[in-house]
Chain A
Amino acid sequence: MKRVLLYSPRSLFAQGIQNLLDAAPECQVIGWESDLEKAVERIQELQPDTILVVNRSASDSLVSIGQRFLKVGGNTKIIELNLEDSKGCVYIGEWFVIQNFDDLVKMVEEPVTGFSEKSGRDSFTGEPKEKKTY
Chain B
Amino acid sequence: MVPLRVLLVDDHHLFCQGVKALLSSRPNIDVVGCAGDGLEAIALARAAMPDVILMDIEMPRCNGLEATRQIKREFPHIIIVVLTVADDDDTIFEAIKCGAQGYLLKSLEAYQLFDMLEGLRQGSAPLSGSVAARILKEFSDLAPDPGEKLAVREELSEREREVLELIVAGKTNKEIADALVITENTVKTYLGNILAKLHLQNRIQAAVYAVSQGIVKTPYPGESSS
Contact = CB atoms under 8 A, between A and B. Distances in A.
A20 B12 contact: no
B106 A12 contact: yes
Interface in B1-57: 11-15, 17-22, 25
Given A12-B113, A16-B19, A86 B108 contact: no
B107 interface: yes
Nearest to A85: B12
A10 B40 CA distance: 30
B21 A13 contact: no
Contacts of B108: 11-12
Contacts of B13: 86
A56 to B, nearest CB: 6
A17 interface: yes
A12 B85 contact: no
Given A56-B85, A84-B85, A17 B14 contact: yes
Interface in A1-32: 9-13, 15-17, 19-20, 23
A81 interface: yes
B133 interface: no
Contact of A11 (B11, B12, B107): B107
B21 A16 contact: yes
B22 A83 contact: no
A57 interface: yes
Nearest to A18: B18
